[in-house]
């Protein structure tokens, strides 16, 4: 236990020693950078892991003192370490026996009151008595434990399976709700606002943890906006905190260290609202690697799809053993009105809690106020970038800007407010550091004309108001899209969940807009992102786990995918590449009728089809994992996944056979009939057999889906539904001809 408690301190001390050593021996720090050396499952017998890592590094570097280059070792749930290496040393290490992959230790980026009710998941839903035995591991920016969302009133002590710790008890207190808390910073470099403990200085981790498993808090709101009862999806579930993200991002080394501990600590679900900027191969991706070992230990990892939408193939968390979540809207939007001196009112989008009390202020166009200090021109000041505006011209005025910015530029120049005009989507509202409204180009141009039509242009910005959005749910423009950039045959994202304008708990160390100069400190905040969608699904997975504690990660994933509510391609032009199987429906997911289950062996076969060989996979698993001689790309289609995707490359002719097996988890005696919807005349989908008759719970039956014909569009999609009258087990079918 002591070794676990001081693992971070050990990493920091090693890093400090290494820095001094490099200066002493004259090695330039710029020549070396941090690399992750991943070695698969821990050795069953043999050399102690730390000794092995030091020995390997000594062999590569050829120096006794160079063994101090090891920054951290992973040894609880998988094998590997982090070391400072040159590019040449990294190449040598990659060729060392037992090494699966070597990749740079890069930084990842961080990718609710009404949302649960919007999905029909009320406070009165059926609850399992074992909900309090379910532990959600949240890998994020930490937690603000004093939040009302994390009180432990009425909760018993943690379940016996829990093996975790509460690190740095002087700065954070765990209870029967937050049962564990750890933090990781392998490079030992902290920002001025970082809190060196599991305590959250950003707000993001507090928000996601409370969305998943927060207790009920009445009258939660952000200065009156979004008022209601804040709650997580599983209020009785336990939270284990793993702080991996800091002011400079979330490093691969720390993500893997958190997975290593979370798996061994005994969590049931891992929730991870973090991702990379670009897609990576499965075994050069810290999240895919950690999630693979979590899957081997019966733990489902739920990930955010990413915030690089709406461009295609921008999803960065897409491994088949994880559940990838897109962000969709709920039936609430926030609008912010702007009233000009001519009494014309325009409506923009923002979350504006500031109240100017209807007082009007002079207006100025940012392009007319370049800052002579720094030699800024109107081409910079029109965008209201920091330092670009002349305080002598802007102070006390409302500034019209030609770009969507944080508002810090106008703020530090002394502006009272800002109007931001551009052509970006207006489907999500953001908080700004000063009164602001985000307008489209049409209204923005009219305001520009007004400013230039009078020498006394004035305006006021109203506090935001809530409006019912009857079109919801639809996928947010920022949500990353599929198809899967590495394995197009695996449909990603898997499903969508609420991720726009979500109210949840917040850190009192982080202001509302998360910008310097913002002095609003609140217990609840409203933010958006696939980061907010992810914990909704993590909670739903925990909800299923409470009713079905023996279900595998893939069984839980299948139940969520096949019970999702269908969404409209008319509202989402990217269709399944935007929303996967549809919108999260937690109530139906606990009784899906049939599940598409997969084991570790199935994923190994999939990886064989992906091109990995027996030697490589043997190193990953440290067992007898093998690829058969006849393995080829068709195995990709045969992974027992609850969706069907065909990538035809440049060919217009399609023929693909999918082999699937479903397990009966509904009524013992049940007959399911296949219903196919596939709206094209040039291709045909057949199911053989098209009737499945079960005689017992747990019985497995197999079938084939045959797709053949020609493509008459870039993308054609439909669905297969197995229907027994009580359950509708729905799987999306997508055929497409290009990735981007």
As a whole number of Å, the end-to-end CA separation of the chain is: 49
Q: Is the distance from CB of 385 to CB of 405 less than 8 angstroms?
A: yes
Burial 301-332 (b: 16+ CB within 10 A, else e): bbbbbbbbbbebbbbbbbbbbbbbbbbbbbbb
Q: What is the 3-state secondary structure of 680-732?
A: CCCEEEEEECCEEEECCCCCEEEEEEEEEEECCCCEEEEEEEEECCCCEEEEE
Instruction: Provide the token pair at 376.
Output: 């800024």
Residue 456 three-state SS: coil
Q: Right CATH number for 334-468 from 3.40.50.1000, 3.50.30.30, 3.20.80.10, 3.90.470.20?
A: 3.50.30.30
Spatial distance between the Cα atoms of 412 and 399, rounded to a whole number of angstroms: 12
Return the structure tokens found at 8.
Answer: 């971070």
Check if 538 is active-site. Answer: no
Q: Which residues lie across from 55 on neighbouring strands?
A: none
> Is residue 727's pLDDT more than 70?
yes
Q: Which of 476, 186, 137 is nearest to 303 (CA)?
A: 137
Is 421 a residue whose pLDDT tops 70?
A: yes
Give 634's pLDDT tier (boundaries 50, 70, 90).
Answer: low
The label of the residue with tokens 């998988």 reads 78
Closest residue by Cα to residue 40 from 625, 631, 628, 636: 625
* Average pLDDT, integer, range 260-283: 95
Q: Give Cα separations from 173 to 105, 180, 580 (angstroms).
A: 31, 9, 39
Q: What is the mean pLDDT of residues 440-468?
A: 97
- Per-residue pLDDT, averaged over 2-23, amounts to 36
CATH classification (class only), 33-104: alpha beta
What's the topology of domain 594-598+639-737? Immunoglobulin-like (2.60.40)
Q: What is the pLDDT of residues 82-104, one digit of tens each?
A: 999 999 999 999 999 889 999 99
Helix (H, G, I), strand (E, B) or coil at 674: strand
Per-residue confidence band for 5, with pLDDT thresholds at 50, 70 and 90 = very low
Per DSSP, the chain holds a count of helices (H) and strands (E) of 19, 36
Residue 113 to residue 705: CA distance in whole angstroms: 41
Q: Which of 34, 115, 133, 140 is catalytic?
A: 140
DSSP state of 565: B
Other CB atoms within 10 A of residue 383 CB: 19
Residue 553 has pLDDT above 60, yes or no: yes
Could you tell me if 251 and 187 are in contact, meaning their C-beta atoms sit under 8 angstroms apart?
Answer: yes
Residue 613: both structure tokens together: 């060989």
For residues 135-161, give the mean pLDDT.
97
Mapping DSSP onto H, E and C, the string for 486-502 reads CCCCCCCCCEEEECCCE
Report the distance separating Cα 39 and Cα 100, nearest Å: 5
| pTM assigned to the model | 0.92
- pLDDT of the residue at 32: 84
HSE (CB half, 13 Å, CA atoms) of 241?
A: 35
Mind giving me the DSSP string for 459-491?
Answer: EEEPPPEEEE-TT---B-TTS---S-SS-TTS-
Looking at per-residue pLDDT, the higher value among 683 and 204 belongs to 204
Q: What is the DSSP string of 314-349?
A: ------TTEEEEEEE--SEEEEEEEEETTS-EEEEE
Cβ(143)–Cβ(200) below 8 Å? yes
Residue for token digits 């999702």? Answer: 564
The single residue of 34, 236, 531, 581 carrying the catalytic annotation is 531
Task: Please report how the helices 49-61 and 87-94 are oriented relative to each other, as an axis angle in degrees rounded to 10.
Answer: 120
CB atoms within 10 A of CB 21: 15
Q: Which regions of 31-86 does DSSP assign to beta strands (E)?
A: 33-38, 70-74, 80-85
Tokens 């106008």 appear where?
410
Query: Are the CB atoms for 340 and 452 separated by under 8 Å?
Result: no
What confidence tier does 389 reach under pLDDT thresholds 50, 70, 90?
A: very high
Percentage of residues in the chain having pLDDT higher than 90: 78
Q: In the structure, what pLDDT confidence band is assigned to residue 169 with cuts at 50, 70 and 90?
A: low
**CATH class of residue range 129-330+479-589:** alpha beta
Of 44-53, 164-173, 258-267, 610-619, the one with minimum mean pLDDT is 44-53
* Residue 32: C-alpha distances to residues 28, 36, 69, 102 (Å): 7, 13, 10, 14
Confidence class of residue 10 from pLDDT cuts 50, 70 and 90? very low
Region for 533 from its dihedrals, namely left if φ exceeds 0, alpha if ψ lies in -120 to 50, beta otherwise? alpha
Report whether pLDDT(518) > 50: yes
Question: Does pLDDT of 7 surpass 60?
Answer: no
What are the extents of the domains in the chain?
A: 33-104, 129-330+479-589, 334-468, 594-598+639-737
User: pLDDT tens across 528-538, in order?
Assistant: 999 999 999 99
> How much is the pLDDT for 48?
56
Task: Say how many CA atoms lie within 13 Å of 158 toward its Cβ.
Answer: 22
Q: Is 531 a catalytic residue?
A: yes
List 53, 111, 204, 536, catalytic entry? 204
Contact predicate 312/282, CB 8 Å: no
* Contacts with 343 (C-beta within 8 Å, 6 or more apart), sequence order: none
3-state secondary structure of 412: helix
Q: Determine the Cα–Cα distance for residues 644 and 733; give it in Å rounded to an integer.
A: 5
What is the per-residue pLDDT for 256? Answer: 97
How sure is the predictor about 58, in pLDDT bands with cuts at 50, 70 and 90? confident
In 3-state terms, what secondary structure has residue 295? helix
pLDDT number for residue 66: 55
Q: Rounded to whole angstroms, how far apart are CA atoms 250 and 255?
A: 7
3-state secondary structure 160-227: CCCCCCECCCCCCCCCCCEEEEEECCCCCCCCCCCCCCCECCCCHHHHHHHHHHCCCEEEEEECCEEE
Mean pLDDT, the chain, integer: 91
- How far apart CA 241 and CA 200 sit, in angstroms, is 10
DSSP assignment letter at 458: E
**Residue 140 bears catalytic tag:** yes
Q: In the block, which residue shows the tokens 């729905």?
A: 730
């Amino acid at each position: 236990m002591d070794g676990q408690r001081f693992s971070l301190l050990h990493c920091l001390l090693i890093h400090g020693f290494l820095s001094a050593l490099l200066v002493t021996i004259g090695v330039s720090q710029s020549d070396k950078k941090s690399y992750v050396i991943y070695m698969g499952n821990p050795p069953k017998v043999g050399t102690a892991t730390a000794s092995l890592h030091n020995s390997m590094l000594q062999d590569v570097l050829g120096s006794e003192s160079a063994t101090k280059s090891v920054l951290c070792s992973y040894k609880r749930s998988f094998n590997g370490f982090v070391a400072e290496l040159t590019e040449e040393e990294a190449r040598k290490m990659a060729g060392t026996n037992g090494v699966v992959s070597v990749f740079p230790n890069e930084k990842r980026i961080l990718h609710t009151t009404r949302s649960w009710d919007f999905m029909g998941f009320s406070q009165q839903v059926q609850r399992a008595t074992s909900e309090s035995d379910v532990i959600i591991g949240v890998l994020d920016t930490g937690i603000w434990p004093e939040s009302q969302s994390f009180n432990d009133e009425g909760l018993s002590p943690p379940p016996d399976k829990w093996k975790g710790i509460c690190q740095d008890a002087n700065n954070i207190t765990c209870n029967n709700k937050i049962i564990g808390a750890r933090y990781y910073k392998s490079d030992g470099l902290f920002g001025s606002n970082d809190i060196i403990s599991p305590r959250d200085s950003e707000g993001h981790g507090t928000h996601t943890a409370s969305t998943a498993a927060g207790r009920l808090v009445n009258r939660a709101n952000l200065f009156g906006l979004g008022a209601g009862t804040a709650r997580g999806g599983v209020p009785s579930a336990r939270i284990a905190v793993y702080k991996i993200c800091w002011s400079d991002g979330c490093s691969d080394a720390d993500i893997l260290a958190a997975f290593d501990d979370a798996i061994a600590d005994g969590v049931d679900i891992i929730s991870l609202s973090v991702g990379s900027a670009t897609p990576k191969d499965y075994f050069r991706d810290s999240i895919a690697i950690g999630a693979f070992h979590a899957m081997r230990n019966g733990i489902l990892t739920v990930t955010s799809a990413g915030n690089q939408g709406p461009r295609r193939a921008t999803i960065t968390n897409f491994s088949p053993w994880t559940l990838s979540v897109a962000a969709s809207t709920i039936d609430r939007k926030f609008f912010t009105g702007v009233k000009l001196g001519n009494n014309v009112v325009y409506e923009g989008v923002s979350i504006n809690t500031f109240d100017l009390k209807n007082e009007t202020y002079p207006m100025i166009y940012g392009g007319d106020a370049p800052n002579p200090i720094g030699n800024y021109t109107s081409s910079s000041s029109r965008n209201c970038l920091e330092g670009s505006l002349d305080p002598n011209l802007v102070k006390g005025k409302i500034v019209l800007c030609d770009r969507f910015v944080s508002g810090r530029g106008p703020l530090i120049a002394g502006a009272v407010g800002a109007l931001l005009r551009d052509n970006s989507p207006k489907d999500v509202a953001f908080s700004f550091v000063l009164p602001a409204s985000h307008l489209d180009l049409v209204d923005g141009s009219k305001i520009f004309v007004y400013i230039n039509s009078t020498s006394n242009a004035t305006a006021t910005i109203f506090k935001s108001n809530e409006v019912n959005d009857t079109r919801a749910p639809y996928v947010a423009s920022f949500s990353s899209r599929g198809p899967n950039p590495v394995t197009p045959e695996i449909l990603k994202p898997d499903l969508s969940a609420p991720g726009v304008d979500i109210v949840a708990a917040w850190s009192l160390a982080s202001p509302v807009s998360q910008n310097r100069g913002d002095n609003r400190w609140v217990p609840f905040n409203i933010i958006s992102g696939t980061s907010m969608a992810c914990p909704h699904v993590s909670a739903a997975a925990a909800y299923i786990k409470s009713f079905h504690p023996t279900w595998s990660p893939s069984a839980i994933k299948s139940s969520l995918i096949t019970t999702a509510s269908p969404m409209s391609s008319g509202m989402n032009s990217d269709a399944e590449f935007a929303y996967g199987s549809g919108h999260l429906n937690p109530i139906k997911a606990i009784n899906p009728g049939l599940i598409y289950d997969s084991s570790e062996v199935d994923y190994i076969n999939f990886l064989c089809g992906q091109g990995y060989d027996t030697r490589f996979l043997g190193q990953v698993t440290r067992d007898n994992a093998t690829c058969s001689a006849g393995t080829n790309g068709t195995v990709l289609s045969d992974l027992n996944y609850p969706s069907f995707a065909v990538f035809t490359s440049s060919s217009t002719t399609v023929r693909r056979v999918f082999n699937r097996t479903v397990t009966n988890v509904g009524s013992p005696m049940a007959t399911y009939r296949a219903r196919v919807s596939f709206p094209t005349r040039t291709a045909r989908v057949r199911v053989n057999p098209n009737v499945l008759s079960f005689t017992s719970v747990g019985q497995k039956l197999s079938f084939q889906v045959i797709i053949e014909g020609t493509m008459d569009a870039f993308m054609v999609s439909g669905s297969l539904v197995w229907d027994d009258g009580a359950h509708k087990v729905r799987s999306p079918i997508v055929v497409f001809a290009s990735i981007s």
